[in-house]
Amino acid sequence: MGEYVAPLKDMRFVLNNIVDLNALSKLDGFEHAESDVVDAVLEEAGKFATNVLSPINKSGDLQGSHVKDAVVTTPDGWIDAYAQFVEGGWNGISAPEEFDGGGLPSAVALATVEMWNSANLAFSLCPLLTQGAIESLLAHGTEEQQQTYLKKLVSGEWAATMNLTESQAGSDVGALRSKAEPAEDGSWRISGQKIFITYGDHELSENIIHLVLARTPGAPAGTRGISLFIVPKFLVNDDGSLGARNDLKCVSLEEKIGIHASPTAVMSYGDEGNCVGYLIGGENKGMACMFTMMNSARLNVGVQGLAIAERAYQQAVEYARDRKQGQAPGMPKGEMAPIINHADVRRMLMTMKANIEAMRCLIYLNGECLDKAHHHPDETVRAESMGMAELLTPMSKGWSTDLGVELASIAVQIHGGMGFVEETGVGQYYRDARILPIYEGTNGIQALDLVGRKLGLNGGAPVKTILADMDIVVQELAQTGNEFTAMSLQLGLAVSALKEATDWLYTNAPNDPNAAPAGATPYLRMFSTVVGGYLLAKSALKAKNLLAAGDGDKGFLDAKIVTANFFTAQILPQATALLGPVTEGANTLFAITEEQLSA
């Protein structure tokens, strides 16, 4: 099994042709994000991923993290790798420069996040949560809180966690029972237990800043009565130095089917009655604050789905080129062909490649929308970009993580019986990927968010915009010539089906509370797949123009067109076929009784 190699050529293609990196570099704060600077950043990030993170991926899985006497230890090599991560400045490349961040666009940062997670997903979960905490503090923290915590979080010297889940609550955050009592000095005393806390304790960073949801006295029931608190592992003195250990601890680590090296902790707060916390964002405003962190995490978890698929794909291609079995058509008798020459293996590899490239387009585009939403000088463009980012986020998270599992499974299949043997390592990608559709709001919740909130966002403006953009691309394909006629036809059919499904949801959801939820998951898959086809079609058009101008790598650009054609012919019709499931309604779901389901 070879080490991970960053797909820099495709990353650059997407950043320059789906994302408009040149336009981003002209926005206030991004002036240094010129193509040569970005190329250098990506190049160095790729080296770090290949040389530092990838080599400890399998060993970390085998060794795992462990807890003894409330002290967590991570696998061999983790401490050194994290120190190099911090020293390289990788933790805060998109954070504001005023807090010693790199100030690069999110679209560029997402490419580096992809590399970290492809090389070593379990390691990369630690900085992922820290990034979310940075964004929450930037949006909701007081100036004092920002000055106290942000520079250390941006550098990575301190890490962070997100504490939502409790055993009785699960995805129903409103059912949490953790408490916060006011203290005379203006701080709070936190008590309660949280489960599934990623990197809840570890020895990688000097301090860990826990963001903890809890209820204050007399708070309203449900999510309306939740507040968010900063709860440091070590209290921070006025001069920024570390003080006493706070009253919190890791009770245990979960035994998981994957990401063994990532310590998933059960955390207990206030066992001695003196766990100090600091309110962020105002009392009973916890969900708004946490959603800033969670939306960041959702996009980054979507990147993880893309990343694990890319890593599994690289190994599958390598194996398919080396493994000889059977005869390919036209071969002399007695000779065996590499399995990459067999049609069904080609189908599986192309399914992986096409979906991966579509996901990369979607996720980087999502990042660009966030960049414009925060940095564009025109208020109208900022609002439109934020609306588009919000529409794309449940697709980036839901579709990409579903595909992460599916494509990792295909990689196991390509390995045949050896894929089921841990020795090859491909099974780790499948095991690691399985958490991703569950993390940060299950994919069912992403689908409900899409149909319940995002379709109606700003009067449906983001949906109308992207559908109109799709229609333009369909016409451009039709006008280009016979080469893209079939692509134009298939994309046109898919867009028409998506419009019909969307109209059905707009019409029926207000009259039947189960109508939209029943079709939500197939609708998310449908919408995402059509977006993927649309973006690959844009890639093909751009590749054709570059070829005509004699600009770029001919082999790479030819492959772009072939991959888009494959997606359009083999994958996009599946989206069109989902019109029925989306518009079926809930009758067939509830026609059977609970007793019949368990019979």
Widest CA span in the chain: 86
DSSP state, 246? P
One DSSP character per residue, 11-72 reads HHHHHHHTS-HHHHTTSTT-TT--HHHHHHHHHHHHHHIIIIIGGGHHHHHHH--EEETTEE
CB atoms within 10 A of CB 373: 19
Closest to 27 (Cα-Cα) out of 382, 477, 397, 465: 382
65 contacts 135 by C-beta, under 8 angstroms: no
pLDDT of residue 222: 84
Contact residues for 343 (Cβ-Cβ < 8 A; gap 6+): none
**């245990």: which residue's tokens?**
252
More confident residue, 335 or 420: 420
203 contacts 72 by C-beta, under 8 angstroms: yes
HEC per residue, 168-196:
CCCCCHHHCCCEEEECCCCCEEEEEEEEE
Closest to 303 (Cα-Cα) out of 109, 588, 592: 109
pLDDT of residue 74: 98
Paired tokens of 492: 């046109």
pLDDT digits (tens, 9 = 90+) for 413-430: 999 999 999 999 999 999
pLDDT of residue 288: 84
Q: Are strands 207-214 and 158-163 parallel, antiparallel or unpaired?
A: parallel
Model confidence band, residue 328 (pLDDT cutoffs 50, 70, 90): confident
One DSSP character per residue, 284-331 reads T-HHHHHHHHHHHHHHHHHHHHHHHHHHHHHHHHHHHHH-B-S--TTP
Q: What percent of the chain is predicted at pLDDT more than 90? A: 89
Model's pTM, two decimal places?
A: 0.96
Helices (H), 73-157: 78-87, 106-119, 121-140, 143-155
354 contacts 571 by C-beta, under 8 angstroms: yes
DSSP state, 333? T
Count Cβ atoms within 10 A of the Cβ of residue 106 and give its class: 0-12 exposed, 13-18 middle, 19 or more buried: buried
pLDDT > 90? residue 406: yes
Residue 419, SS3 per DSSP: helix
Q: What percent of the chain is predicted at pLDDT more than 70? A: 98
pLDDT of residue 174: 61
pLDDT > 70? residue 169: no
Closest to 24 (Cα-Cα) out of 12, 14, 15, 36: 15
Model confidence band, residue 481 (pLDDT cutoffs 50, 70, 90): confident
The residues that are catalytic are 440
pLDDT of residue 171: 59
What is the pLDDT of the chain when averaged over all its residues?
Answer: 95
pLDDT > 70? residue 1: no
C-alpha angle with apex 388: 224 to 352, nearest 5 degrees? 105
pLDDT digits (tens, 9 = 90+) for 527-536: 999 999 999 9
491 contacts 533 by C-beta, under 8 angstroms: yes
The Cα 414–Cα 24 span in angstroms is: 40
330 contacts 428 by C-beta, under 8 angstroms: no
DSSP state, 571? I
Count Cβ atoms within 10 A of the Cβ of residue 573 and give its class: 0-12 exposed, 13-18 middle, 19 or more buried: middle
Residue 280, SS3 per DSSP: strand
Model confidence band, residue 336 (pLDDT cutoffs 50, 70, 90): confident
Contact residues for 156 (Cβ-Cβ < 8 A; gap 6+): 82, 85, 86, 90, 91, 92, 127, 130, 205
pLDDT digits (tens, 9 = 90+) for 513-529: 899 999 999 999 999 99
pLDDT digits (tens, 9 = 90+) for 268-314: 999 999 999 999 999 999 888 877 777 788 999 999 999 999 999 99
**């293609």: which residue's tokens?**
13
170 contacts 196 by C-beta, under 8 angstroms: no
56 contacts 78 by C-beta, under 8 angstroms: yes
Model confidence band, residue 170 (pLDDT cutoffs 50, 70, 90): low
Count Cβ atoms within 10 A of the Cβ of residue 479 and give its class: 0-12 exposed, 13-18 middle, 19 or more buried: exposed
Lowest mean pLDDT among 98-107, 162-171, 231-240: 162-171
CB atoms within 10 A of CB 371: 27
pLDDT > 90? residue 556: yes
Contact residues for 47 (Cβ-Cβ < 8 A; gap 6+): none
pLDDT > 80? residue 334: no
One DSSP character per residue, 376-390 reads -S-HHHHHHHHHHHH
Model confidence band, residue 211 (pLDDT cutoffs 50, 70, 90): very high
Paired tokens of 74: 């991570």
DSSP state, 102? -
